[in-house]
Amino acid sequence: MAPEDHTSALPATLLIEDEQERGYGHVLPLIDGNKTYSQVTEEVFSTTERMPPLKWWLALSVSLSLLLLGAWAVTQTVTRGIGTWGLNRTVGWAFDITNFVFWVGIGHAGTLISAILFLFRQRWRTSINRAAEAMTIFAVMCAGTFPIIHMGRPWLAFWATPYPNTRGPLWVNFKSPLLWDVFAISTYFIISLTFWYLGMVPDLATMRDRAKTKVRKAIFSIFSLGWNGSNRTWSRYETVYMLLAGLSTPLVISVHTIVSMDFATSVIPGWHATIFPPYFVAGAVFSGFAMVLTLMIIARKVMDLEEYITVRHLEAMTKVIIATGMIVGMAYGTEFFMAWYSGNNFERYVFINRALGPFKWAYWSMVSCNVIIPQLFWIRKVRTTPWMIFILSIFVNIGMWFERFVIIVTSLHRDYLPSSWAMYTPTFVEVAIFLGSFGLFFTCFLIFTRLLPMIAASEVKGVLKHEEH
Amino acid sequence: MRSTDAITLTRFRASFADPHLLLEAVKRLKQEGYPIIDTYSPFPVHGMDEAIGLKPSRLPRACLAFGLLGLATALGVQIWTSAYDYPLIVGGKPLVSLPAFIPVSFELTVLFAGLGVVASLFVASGMRPKFKVPDLHPGVNDDRFVVAGEIQAGASFTVVQSLMASLGALETELLVEDKSQTDHSLLDREAKPLAFLLAAIPAVLVLAALPLLNRNYLKRNLAWDGGMMAPVAYQSFDPHPSLPGGQVLQTPPAGTVSRKGLVPLPYGPGKVEAERAGLELKNPFQPSQENFSRGKLVYDRSCAACHGLDGDNNSSVIVARGLLAPAILVAPVVRDMPDGRLFHVATFGGPQKMKGLGDLISRDDRWKVVLYIRELQRAAAPKPLPAPPPSTGATS
């Protein structure tokens, strides 16, 4: 559908006022189809009340198979040992940590949409924030599994927490970035989950009110916490929502900053750089938005939510992608500049090796997917055509995965001592765990879309006619 | 239906289809002097707080307090564990290195503030699992905007009803409830459980501190798998299902210099022992191309620097430096020594200065060097030898 059609067919009331005033040529509506409140209720909640369609079952079966494959690979790793992976003494981090950083980064877009855009009063976030937050939670779950499996004895993962024990006075090392990671990721997970749940309470109340069976009613009575839409509660609720958004914003930045410190505080050439925190945060937003786009474009088709997740939403996200993509591109350039300007031979060698060495294919796929291809988003037609956005978003996902791979593997495989130089190739088990993480992610996401309202109905109702406020 | 007139202290409820109508109605009711209990809506209606006279929430203060609590907890735990309970210097940093404590402090501040403020919201608004929701209008979570107010003594419901209808109400109903339920001060209702909760805090803190105060390091942890106390490593002579030969101990790879496990060499250093070795030991290796080339390799690496590449001291480093000249290996003295004696010298050293190389060169290789030295001697033999032993013999 061409964007022009949308604008002309819609009553002016559905357009964003301020943008009209700013004189934008084509303003796409937030929610299409001139809906009433009860229509929104019906359309958002009915998906959770009927049997899912065949395509949903098909998707679920594929992702469950992937999940199973991953479970098999994890079992291999745990029972036979880390030797089932392609790591060696030189390349001690590879697929595992690449995937960890990849998934954490993906999670960040969810928080960005739900918290930062909320603080900036970007109303277009309302119909995508619920799904984006769910994505955050599932992505962080996927991310968290990697360091835990990587420990080799995952059942002892609780040793990473400071708890009083009788092993002499023995505590975790609070000066280690790996421990900061433990705190950052778990805080991030807990706060995101809380934020997501809190935002869902009014919708859970609607589900409770609509529930037909006793069991359903009981379950949603528990989770909707006696919500009755009282204005006194709304008033406090909005305050708390705002506070949580305010807390999540620095939190999300801190999380990827700390992840980048896992690298930056080491002395490995190619890692030991002060630009890592901002570079990683921008990369996280970039990859996260690409993943949101990938998911949303599928979801709006499969779930018939095109009127809620409109081209306008997609377009806004593509703009975030261009901006962050260029920050990332600049970081790539800056890294080379710093390597040259530092005068440090090891640093220079690592970057020359990155671009021209044995992993050059990874480096150049990263550059083309992250820097060159997203430039197509400058073209309006590309920004407003869902299938084109979809293809570009897949490229960005691939590129950002390669970015982490390049940073980790190329820096490690040629370190100071040429005698310990080595190569890395993933084993089948590693690839299977990676595929399994996609299985976990999509299984959770698919179940979520059918169990809970994928769109924040109470928020969408608030923006239906917001021009009158 | 009850008689709708002249009931004292009753509540009414009117519902609207639009938030603006609701807002207008609330303003009007206020003007007319009806106390507003609350309004109910599917999404927050902006301007309603001012209309019904709600003061801004104090929850931000709770948030700050919880955040500070988190900060204090984080700093307390980090400083106490890293500087007092387990003072371990890491990376040359001071025990209390505040910059390194920033990340965890920040995370815990956010965690406490976030969870704390949400918990405060639940307590303040009485949000908890409820199977019977009070004051629930069936359409409020869908598309109805509801106001609940009180009809004071003397006022009549019909008046309110017509007023509401004139403002666009879809329906207005009369609710007769006893006073205790209309009490909307939710904090009062939650007061008792809250008090219990607060009272429990010290108890919980004491319980949590007990294991810290009462630590007995001699007692082992509760460990469900023994962890690292019970190694899963195999012992050398254990059987092993998946290794070649069905046992853990494997033949070392080719070229490994073994330090133990070989047949003992029953000799000690010294001339007497050297002679005994000369009598008793025999070179287990036959001269062959392979053994020569191995012997040459070892000789060139381990002996040639002192004895010269051809065993004639010509390219000897230590001779060039004017140090004690080694024995000329191709000289008749050495040529006449039995293999076992040369082997003994290579293992335990010469009569004066030469160091024994038995701990650096494997036993087989030492025998192959002997073979190679014999080859050198054979190569040197046809040449007219320098005046036999005396002056340049083994000693100078």
Q: Please, are residues B21 and B145 in contact by the beta-carbon 8 Å criterion? A: yes
Q: Please, are residues A363 and A354 in contact by the beta-carbon 8 Å criterion? A: yes
> Given pLDDT bands bounded at 50, 70 and 90, which one contains residue A8?
very low
CB contact under 8 A, B133 and A226: yes
> Hey, is the C-beta of B37 within 8 angstroms of any chain A C-beta?
no
User: Is the pLDDT higher at A418 or at A464?
Assistant: A418
CB contact under 8 A, B82 and A175: yes
> Given pLDDT bands bounded at 50, 70 and 90, which one contains residue B174?
confident
Give the model's pLDDT for residue A30.
63
A29 sits in which H/E element:
none
Give the model's pLDDT for residue B7.
45
> Hey, is the C-beta of A79 within 8 angstroms of any chain B C-beta?
no
Residue of B nearest to A223 (CA): B129
> Given pLDDT bands bounded at 50, 70 and 90, which one contains residue A283?
very high
Q: Give the span between the Cα atoms of B246 and A98, in whole angstroms.
A: 38
| One-letter identity of residue A46 | S
Our CA dihedral for A8, A14, A18, A24, rounded to 10 degrees, sits at -20
Q: Give the span between the Cα atoms of A192 and A185, in whole angstroms.
A: 10
- Could you tell me which residues come within 8 angstroms of residue B385 by beta carbon, excluding any fewer than 6 positions away? B331, B332
Q: Please, are residues A60 and A446 in contact by the beta-carbon 8 Å criterion? A: yes
pLDDT tops 90 at residue B11: no
Bridge partners, B173 (sequence order) = B13
DSSP state at residue A228: -
Q: Give the span between the Cα atoms of A155 and B225, in whole angstroms.
A: 9
Sign of CA dihedral B62, B63, B65, B66: positive
Residues 383 through 402 of chain A touching chain B, CB cutoff 8 Å: none
Q: Give the span between the Cα atoms of A113 and A249, in whole angstroms.
A: 10
> Given pLDDT bands bounded at 50, 70 and 90, which one contains residue B195?
confident
Chain A interface disruption, residue of B107, B115, B131, most A CBs within 10 A: B107
From chain A, pick out residues whose CB is under 8 angstroms from the CB of B88. Answer: 173
Strand order in the sheet with B171-175: B36-40, B145-151, B10-16, B171-175
Only one residue has tokens 């598309």, namely B143
Question: Considering only A41-55, B126-140, B165-179, B182-196, which range has the smallest mean pLDDT?
Answer: B182-196
Mean pLDDT score of chain A: 85
From chain A, pick out residues whose CB is under 8 angstroms from the CB of B126. Answer: 226
Q: Please, are residues B137 and B173 in contact by the beta-carbon 8 Å criterion? A: no
Pull the structure tokens for residue A239: 């305050």
Give the max Cα distance, chain B: 147
Residue of A nearest to B79 (CA): A174
Q: State pLDDT tens for residues B239-249.
A: 888 888 888 88
- Could you tell me which residues come within 8 angstroms of residue B239 by beta carbon, excluding any fewer than 6 positions away? B246, B247, B248
- Could you tell me which residues come within 8 angstroms of residue A185 by beta carbon, excluding any fewer than 6 positions away? A104, A140, A143, A144, A255
Question: Considering only A53-62, A178-187, A439-448, B130-139, which range has the smallest mean pLDDT?
Answer: B130-139
Q: State pLDDT tens for residues A377-393.
A: 999 998 988 899 999 99
- Distance in Å, alpha carbon of B25 to nearest chain A alpha carbon: 15
Q: Give the span between the Cα atoms of B21 and B168, in whole angstroms.
A: 7
From chain A, pick out residues whose CB is under 8 angstroms from the CB of B52. Answer: 231
CB contact under 8 A, B125 and A179: no
Give the model's pLDDT for residue B294.
93
Task: Please report which residue ranges of A16-92 form alpha helices under DSSP H.
Answer: 17-21, 37-49, 54-80
- Distance in Å, alpha carbon of A169 to nearest chain B alpha carbon: 6
B68-to-A239, A251, B114 alpha-carbon distances in Å: 19, 16, 12
| pLDDT (average), residues A319-342 | 92
Q: Please, are residues A307 and A32 in contact by the beta-carbon 8 Å criterion? A: yes
> Hey, is the C-beta of B86 within 8 angstroms of any chain A C-beta?
yes
CB contact under 8 A, B128 and A37: no
Q: Please, are residues A240 and B61 in contact by the beta-carbon 8 Å criterion? A: no
Domain boundaries, chain A: 15-161+172-256+270-463
Q: What does the H/E/C string look like for chain B? A: CCCCCCCCCEEEEEEECCHHHHHHHHHHHHHHCCCEEEEECCCCCCCHHHHHCCCCCCHHHHHHHHHHHHHHHHHHHHHHHHHHHCCCCCCCCCCCCHHHHHHHHHHHHHHHHHHHHHHHHHHHCCCCCCCCCCCCCCCCCCCCEEEEEEECCCCCHHHHHHHHHHCCCCEEEEECCCHHHHCCCHHHHHHHHHHHHHHHHHHHHHHHHHHHHCCCCCCCCCCCCCHHHCCCCCCCCCECCCCHHHECCCCCCCCCCCCCCCCCCCCCCCHHHHHHHHHHCCCCCCCCHHHHHHHHHHHHHHCHHHHCCCCCCCCCHHHHCCCCCCCCCCCHHHHCCCHHHHHHHHHHECCCCCECCCCCCCHHHHHHHHHHHHHHHHHHCCCCCCCCCCCCCCCC
Nearest residue, CB atoms, A168 vs list B59, B101, B217? B217
How far, in whole angstroms, is CA A235 from its chain's centroid? 30
pLDDT tops 60 at residue A195: yes
Q: State pLDDT tens for residues A111-169.
A: 888 888 888 877 777 878 888 899 999 999 999 999 999 888 888 888 888 887 767 77
Q: Please, are residues A114 and A287 in contact by the beta-carbon 8 Å criterion? A: no
Inter-chain Cβ pairs, chain A and chain B, closer than 8 A: 224
> Given pLDDT bands bounded at 50, 70 and 90, which one contains residue B226?
low
- Distance in Å, alpha carbon of B342 to nearest chain A alpha carbon: 37
CB contact under 8 A, A458 and B135: no
> Hey, is the C-beta of B55 within 8 angstroms of any chain A C-beta?
no
From chain A, pick out residues whose CB is under 8 angstroms from the CB of B221. Answer: 165-167
DSSP-based helix, strand, coil % in chain A, nearest 5: 75, 0, 25
Q: Which residue, among B339, B390, B395, has the nearest Cα to B369 in the 3D structure?
A: B339
| pLDDT (average), residues A249-263 | 92
Give the max Cα distance, chain A: 74
Q: State pLDDT tens for residues A348-373.
A: 999 999 999 899 999 999 999 999 99
CB contact under 8 A, B103 and A261: yes
> Given pLDDT bands bounded at 50, 70 and 90, which one contains residue B5?
very low
User: Is the pLDDT higher at B132 or at A236?
Assistant: A236
Pull the structure tokens for residue A283: 């990369």
| pLDDT (average), residues B217-241 | 70
Chain B interface disruption, residue of A236, A238, A255, A276, most B CBs within 10 A: A236
> Given pLDDT bands bounded at 50, 70 and 90, which one contains residue A17?
very low
Residues 180 through 209 of chain B touching chain A, CB cutoff 8 Å: 184, 186
> Hey, is the C-beta of A37 within 8 angstroms of any chain B C-beta?
yes
Nearest residue, CB atoms, A236 vs list B41, B107, B121? B121
Nearest residue, CB atoms, A225 vs list B101, B127, B211? B127
From chain A, pick out residues whose CB is under 8 angstroms from the CB of B11. Answer: none
CB contact under 8 A, A225 and B129: yes
Q: Which residue, among A268, A267, A266, A269, has the nearest Cα to A349 in the 3D structure?
A: A269
Give the model's pLDDT for residue B389.
54
Q: Give the span between the Cα atoms of A247 and B60, in whole angstroms.
A: 12
pLDDT tops 60 at residue A405: yes
> Hey, is the C-beta of B229 within 8 angstroms of any chain A C-beta?
no
Nearest residue, CB atoms, A251 vs list B45, B110, B129? B110
Burial (0-12, 13-18, 19+ Cβ within 10 Å), B146:
buried
Give the model's pLDDT for residue B103.
94
Angle at alpha carbon of residue B167, lines to B161 and B169, rounded to 5°: 60
pLDDT tops 70 at residue A16: no
| pLDDT (average), residues B371-394 | 69
Share of chain A above pLDDT 90, in %: 46
Domains of chain B: 4-42+139-175 (3.30.70.260), 271-380 (1.10.760.10)
